[in-house]
């Protein structure tokens, strides 16, 4: 599954002759798998489910107990073991294929990634952040949520949420019923932030580099590509607004 994009066929199931259509990577499965890679950083030979005695495949009894624990976790009663999971899967596949066969022919699927539109709160946050960093909003200047709401053509709620995030990053000082005041971003303050980041991030980067795997490199490249695409889309949306 590593390296597969949304819409691509899972090669491990490509030879399954019991299915009419091939199994493809869906958006939710792709997101879950990328999260698993980031959290666990598996090696090339690591197993998704392995024995407690080491990096060995699960035995059938162990796999059956694992499936039973899944059923118990979601509150499904009267079901246990691998056999019930297989029957459930087969029934669902047959139902899906029956429903699909009754529908008109679908348009061809293209190998494209889903579009993630930034929220209004995120757009407001980025715009206010840029205004503060570029001194379009001067240090000491007061910001009123209602006034910003009229200028930006958006409701007060996402503006207040964005101002709360900017306060947490020390860009603003928010006072109840009095609005917010832009803090001064002095050279001394920037140097303090830089020194703190160097103290924390350099050792972290060194440890990450020593523990890196090919899977991690692929994941970093994928996340960087997604970040750059999202940044371009967000800049385009902000420009249109």
pTM over 0.85: no
Q: In the predicted model, what is the mean pLDDT of residues 39-47?
A: 69
pLDDT of residue 167: 87
pLDDT (tens digit per residue) in 111-169: 555 666 677 888 888 899 888 888 888 888 999 888 898 888 888 888 988 988 888 88
Stretch 187-212: mean pLDDT: 84
Helices 60-73, 81-101: crossing angle, 10 deg rounding: 70
Which whole number is the average pLDDT over 13-28? 63
pLDDT in tens, 94-110: 555 555 555 565 555 55
CATH code of 120-182, in short, is: 1.10.10.10
Higher pLDDT, 207 or 65: 207
135-141 long-range contacts (CB < 8 A, ≥24 apart) are: 137/182, 138/182, 139/182, 139/183, 139/184, 139/185, 140/181, 140/182, 140/184, 141/181, 141/182
CA 234/CA 216 separation, integer angstroms: 26
The predicted pLDDT at position 70 comes to 74
Average pLDDT, the chain: 76
Give the DSSP letter of residue 13.
G
- For the beta carbon of residue 180, count every other beta carbon within 10 angstroms: 22
Domain ranges of the chain: 11-101, 120-182, 187-240
């Amino acid at each position: 599954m590593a390296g597969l994009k949304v819409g691509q066929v899972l090669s491990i199931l490509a030879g399954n002759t019991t299915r009419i259509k091939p199994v493809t990577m869906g958006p939710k499965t792709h997101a879950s798998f990328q999260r698993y890679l980031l959290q666990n950083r598996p090696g090339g030979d690591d197993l998704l489910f392995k024995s407690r005695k080491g990096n060995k495949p699960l035995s059938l009894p162990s796999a059956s107990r694992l499936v039973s624990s899944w059923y118990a976790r979601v509150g499904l009663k009267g079901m246990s073991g691998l056999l019930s999971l297989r029957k459930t899967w087969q029934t669902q596949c047959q139902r899906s294929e029956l429903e699909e066969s009754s529908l008109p022919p679908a348009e061809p699927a293209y190998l494209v990634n889903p579009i993630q539109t930034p929220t209004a709160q995120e757009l407001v946050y980025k715009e206010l952040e840029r205004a503060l960093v570029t001194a379009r909003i001067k240090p000491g200047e007061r910001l009123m949520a209602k006034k910003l709401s009229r200028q930006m053509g958006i409701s007060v709620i996402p503006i207040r949420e964005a101002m709360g995030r900017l306060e947490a990053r020390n860009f603003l000082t928010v006072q109840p019923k009095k609005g917010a005041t832009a803090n001064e971003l002095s050279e001394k303050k920037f140097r303090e932030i830089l020194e703190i980041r160097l103290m924390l991030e350099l050792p972290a980067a060194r440890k990450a580099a020593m523990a890196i795997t090919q899977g991690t490199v692929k994941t970093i490249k994928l996340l960087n590509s997604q970040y750059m695409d999202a940044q371009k889309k967000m800049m385009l949306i902000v420009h249109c607004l």
